[in-house]
């Protein structure tokens, strides 16, 4: 699989409108065709929901639509809905027959996610996103902040048009979780004694929560019973946290050309991620002092130290901290996949398993 970063096994690209194209195995081709058609519907409704009568607003919305990348959250919403649909008896549904509520849920979670990306770029002072210029770099922080707010408001408005108020309540709650996770992280910048427990609290809220709700509400939109909704919420939460660990690893070890966005921002902003937390907890005292000195320097504005960067990576390798983070993400994916065993076997469930594996084998 490519697009989510795993090795290609051939198959079908979903459709040209989706950035971060997902290739799937030949045996899952019918699922890919259904998913491609469903995502076309999501994109169309997304654009309608973001329509603006003021050209400056419309121009910003057009720009931010380029932020659509892997489409992980809407993809999971659609797949979890189809996997939980007991009426299908394992058959792959027709994309055009999927209920509008499922399409709306998929679009809403992506819109909330894009709002967080716009805000994150302001917080990180990032210049690049999806291999293009960020809103803040082109139009300034003020416009970027308000655009992020506009996206959140548009997502909630879209959700509130659904007949069942539960969707709006859940989206409102998860938006609060996202913000609380960000505020917790901001309060712990330059905290080089950050614990794993606090790190997981942050990423569970910032990333895990929205992926979890995408899976849960996708199942609800297809009429799944509450137990199945909650099981898929757990699937999404574990998958989302694993996804964030991989993102943190890519920020630390990747290059901008491959990752497609500004990298090493966590170090620059004094945000400890799992590899560094493990390294500082397990390294020898002298090694720890050296790393702490590096981290202090890295948080200074305009810091560039290729030799220090190389030394840090060697130190992380010495303590096995990169591998520790990778293994943690793999364990979470295994935990997520265990939920799928409780669902009736189908090609859609197999696709969910394939996507889960790809989360920790992607290079961008």
Average pLDDT rounded to a whole number, residues 231-239: 98
- Enter the pTM of the model: 0.90
Q: Which residue has the tokens 């929901």?
A: 49
CA proximity to 121, closest of 66, 176, 70: 66
Q: Which of 67-71, 104-108, 223-227, 326-330 has the lowest mean pLDDT?
A: 67-71
- pLDDT at residue 126, rounded to an integer: 86
- pLDDT at residue 16, rounded to an integer: 38
21-44 pLDDT tens trace: 355 788 999 999 999 999 999 999
- pLDDT at residue 255, rounded to an integer: 74
Q: Which of 168-177, 281-290, 295-304, 307-316 has the lowest mean pLDDT?
A: 295-304
- pLDDT at residue 25, rounded to an integer: 83
Count Cβ atoms within 10 A of the Cβ of residue 319 and give its class: 0-12 exposed, 13-18 middle, 19 or more buried: buried
- pLDDT at residue 4, rounded to an integer: 40
What are the structure tokens assigned to 290, written together?
Answer: 């050296």
State the average pLDDT for the chain: 88
Domain ranges of the chain: 26-359
Is the pLDDT at 11 greater than 60, yes or no?
Answer: no
Q: Which long-range contacts (CB under 8 A, 24 or more apart) does 45-53 make?
A: 45/103, 45/104, 45/107, 46/107, 46/110, 46/111, 49/107, 49/111, 49/154, 49/155, 49/157, 49/158, 50/111, 50/151, 50/154
Is the pLDDT at 128 greater than 80, yes or no?
Answer: yes
What is the residue-wise DSSP string for 72-118?
HHHHHHHHHHHHH-TTSTTPPPPGGGS-HHHHHHHHHHHHHHHHHHH
267-284 pLDDT tens trace: 888 899 999 999 999 999
- pLDDT at residue 261, rounded to an integer: 60
**Residue ranges in the chain assigned as alpha helix (H):** 29-49, 55-64, 72-84, 100-124, 135-139, 141-160, 166-187, 196-203, 209-221, 226-253, 256-259, 265-268, 274-282, 285-298, 306-318, 321-340, 347-359
193-211 pLDDT tens trace: 999 999 999 999 999 999 9
Is the pLDDT at 298 greater than 50, yes or no?
Answer: yes
Is the pLDDT at 14 greater than 60, yes or no?
Answer: no
Give the span between the Cα atoms of 295 and 267, in whole angstroms: 7
Q: What percent of the chain has pLDDT over 90?
A: 73
Output phi, psi for 270, to 5 deg: 70, 30
CATH tag for 26-359 (out of 3.40.50.360, 3.30.70.3460, 1.10.600.10, 3.20.20.140): 1.10.600.10
Is the pLDDT at 85 greater than 50, yes or no?
Answer: yes
More confident residue, 294 or 77: 77
CA proximity to 324, closest of 270, 277, 258, 362: 277
- pLDDT at residue 281, rounded to an integer: 96
- pLDDT at residue 303, rounded to an integer: 56
Count Cβ atoms within 10 A of the Cβ of residue 16 and give its class: 0-12 exposed, 13-18 middle, 19 or more buried: exposed
- pLDDT at residue 306, rounded to an integer: 73
Average pLDDT rounded to a whole number, residues 10-24: 42
Most confident listed range (249-253, 271-275, 291-295): 271-275
- pLDDT at residue 170, rounded to an integer: 97
Count Cβ atoms within 10 A of the Cβ of residue 307 and give its class: 0-12 exposed, 13-18 middle, 19 or more buried: exposed
């Amino acid at each position: 699989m490519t697009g989510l970063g795993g090795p290609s096994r051939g198959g079908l690209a979903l459709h040209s409108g989706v950035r971060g194209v997902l290739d799937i195995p030949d045996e899952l081709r019918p699922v890919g065709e259904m998913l491609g058609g469903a995502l076309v519907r999501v994109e169309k409704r997304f654009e309608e929901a973001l329509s603006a009568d003021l050209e400056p607003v419309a121009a910003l919305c057009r720009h931010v639509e380029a932020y659509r990348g892997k489409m992980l959250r809407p993809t999971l919403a659609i797949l979890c809905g189809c996997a939980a649909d007991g009426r299908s008896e394992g058959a792959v549904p027709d994309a055009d027959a999927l209920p509008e509520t499922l399409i709306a849920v998929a679009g809403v979670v992506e819109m909330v996610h894009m709002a967080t990306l716009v805000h994150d770029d302001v917080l990180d002072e990032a210049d690049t996103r999806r291999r293009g210029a960020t809103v803040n770099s082109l139009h300034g922080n003020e416009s970027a902040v308000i655009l992020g707010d506009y996206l959140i408001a548009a997502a909630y408005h879209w959700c509130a048009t659904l007949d069942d108020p539960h969707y709006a309540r859940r989206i409102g709650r998860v938006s609060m979780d996202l913000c609380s996770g960000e505020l917790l992280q901001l309060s712990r910048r330059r905290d080089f004694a950050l614990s794993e427990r606090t790190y997981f609290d942050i990423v569970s809220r910032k990333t895990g929560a929205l992926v979890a709700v995408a899976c849960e509400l996708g199942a609800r939109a297809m009429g799944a019973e509450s137990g199945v909704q909650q099981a898929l919420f757990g699937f999404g939460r574990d998958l989302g946290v694993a996804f964030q660990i991989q993102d943190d690893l890519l920020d630390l070890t990747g290059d901008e050309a491959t990752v497609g966005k500004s990298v090493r921002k966590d170090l620059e902003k004094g945000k400890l991620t799992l590899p560094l937390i493990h390294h500082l907890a397990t390294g020898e005292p002298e090694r720890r002092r050296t790393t702490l000195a590096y981290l202090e320097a890295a948080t200074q504005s305009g810091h560039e130290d290729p030799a220090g960067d190389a030394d840090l990576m060697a130190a992380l390798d010495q303590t096995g901290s990169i591998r520790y983070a990778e293994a943690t993400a793999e364990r979470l994916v295994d935990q997520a996949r265990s939920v799928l065993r409780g669902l009736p076997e189908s090609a859609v469930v197999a696709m969910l398993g394939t996507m889960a594996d790809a989360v920790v084998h992607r290079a961008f």
